[in-house]
Structure 1
Amino acid sequence: MPCYRLEGVTPVVDPSAYVHPTAVLIGDVIVGPGVYVGPNACLRGDFGRLILEKGANIQDTCVMHGFPGTDTVVEEDGHIGHGAVLHGCRVGRNALIGMNAVIMDGAVIGEASIVAATAFVKAGFECAPRSLVVGAPAEVKRQLSEQEIAWKVAGTQEYQRLVTRCHDSLQECVPLTQVEAQRPRVNAGEVKPKYQTNP
């Protein structure tokens, strides 16, 4: 992976974490145990400190950055969807940030909350635990149900399993030129989409 020391500060990656080889880590970045960092994620610890706590995931093309003297934190079991931007904020334990959402400086997302895809969370925003946060600018719509929180937990557990799957079997390779007979499928777990287009 592209990994850069800056002014004597070197990124830290726990040996049990998985960081994709195309992800970029710069400076004051701390990747905790069992964390998944996806392809082309950019963690720029050149101003503030970036922390991914145990079991968190930050998926492909996400960006983490912050202002000088600040910590940008994804707490334990935090789940950051494809393309999200985290800037100088704190994502609480077991919270989910939806795809392409933007969380700005000083914002605090409460434990076990869900921020909807494409939401824009303004600087200084705070929400209580178990909040559903929607819109641009984002606002709290309601409290989450037990079923919604269970769905989030199941999805995060699949990313925690993906850490092991990648350590065990992900390899750079040359693509095949045609589909082989009896092509196997990847072993992707049992989580079902929350919303289905077909009955």
Structure 2
Amino acid sequence: MQVYSIDGITPVVDPTAYVHPTAVLIGDVIIGPGCYVGPNAALRGDFGRLILEEGANVQDTCVLHGFPGTDTVVEKDGHIGHGAVLHGCRIGRNALVGMNAVVMDGAEIGAESIVAACAFVKAAFKCEPRSMLVGSPAKFLREVSDKEIAWKSAGTATYQDLTNRCLTTMEKVEPLTEVEPNRPRMDVGEVKPKYKTEA
């Protein structure tokens, strides 16, 4: 990981968290136990504080930032999909922010809510727990079902397991020059894409 202090404030990473070597952490960043931060994520705590609570994941190319004096928080078991941007907002416990979604300053996403991929959540937006938010600007569509929460929780558990896999088995290597015979597949259990769970 690429870690930088600024104005005498240094990022904090719990030893049980995994931060990919290409991720960048700057300043007032606090990463809790069992968290996962993916490749090329940028967590810029050079103005506001950034907090990942226990078991949260922030995936590839996500950006977290905020205005001075603000906190950007991903609560316990929060799940931030590839390419999402969080700016000065709070993501509730066990909530999901979909790929390439944007959540702006002062927004509060309720626990166990789902922000759809590519949604744009305006500044100061607030929603109740278990809200399904879609669109640009994001609007409440309906309540999240028990089945959807179970699907989301299974996906988050897979990322929590990925934290352990990365800490114990990931290493930098040179690529092979050809595919070896009987090349194995990753054996990590089965979490189906949402569209396959709806059939």
Q: Normalization by structure 2: what TM-score? A: 0.98
User: What is the aligned length?
Assistant: 198
The DSSP-based 3-state class of the residue aligned with 1:188 is coil
Pairing of 1:61-100 with structure 2 (within 5 A): 61-100=61-100
Which amino acid in 2 is paired with 1:15? P
Deviation at 1:110, TM superposition (A): 0.2
2:153 maps to which residue?
153
Q: Can you give the 5+ residue segments of structure 1 that lack an aligned partner in the other structure?
A: none
Q: Per-residue deviation at 1:186?
A: 1.5
Percentage identity across aligned positions?
Answer: 72
Q: In the TM superposition, what is the alpha-carbon distance from 1:160 to its structure 2 partner?
A: 0.2
In 1, Cα distance between the equivalents of 2:148 and 2:159? 17
**Which residue does 1:45 correspond to in 2?**
45
Which residue number in structure 2 is paired with residue 132 of structure 1? 132
Match runs of 1:167-178 below 5 Å: 167-178=167-178
| 1:8 corresponding residue in structure 2 | 8
| Match of residue 27 from structure 2 | 27
List structure 1 runs of 4+ shifted beyond 6 angstroms: none
Deviation string, structure 1 residues 25-57 (Cα, Å, up to 9, x no partner): 000000000000000000000000000000000
CA distance in 2, matches of 1:122, 1:4: 30
Amino acid at match of 2:180: E
User: Residue 168 of structure 1: CA displacement?
Assistant: 1.0
What letter matches 2:70 in structure 1?
A: T
Shift of 1:192: 1.2
| Gapped regions of structure 2 (runs ≥ 5) | none
Q: Distance in 2 between matches of 1:34 and 1:164?
A: 8
* 1:188 CA displacement: 2.4
Which moves more between the two structures, 181-190 or 153-162? 181-190
Distance 1:170 1:96 in 2: 26
Aligned-residue RMSD, C-alpha: 1.0
**Secondary structure in 2 matching 1:195:** helix
3-state secondary structure, aligned to 2:27: strand
Whole-Å separation in 2 of the counterparts to 1:105 and 1:79: 18
Q: CA deviation at 1:196?
A: 3.3
Mapping for residues 156-195 of structure 1, pairs under 5 Å = 156-195=156-195
**Equivalent-residue separation in structure 2 for 1:42 and 1:170 (angstroms):** 20
Q: Distance in 2 between matches of 1:125 and 1:83?
A: 21
Cα shift at 1:137:
0.3
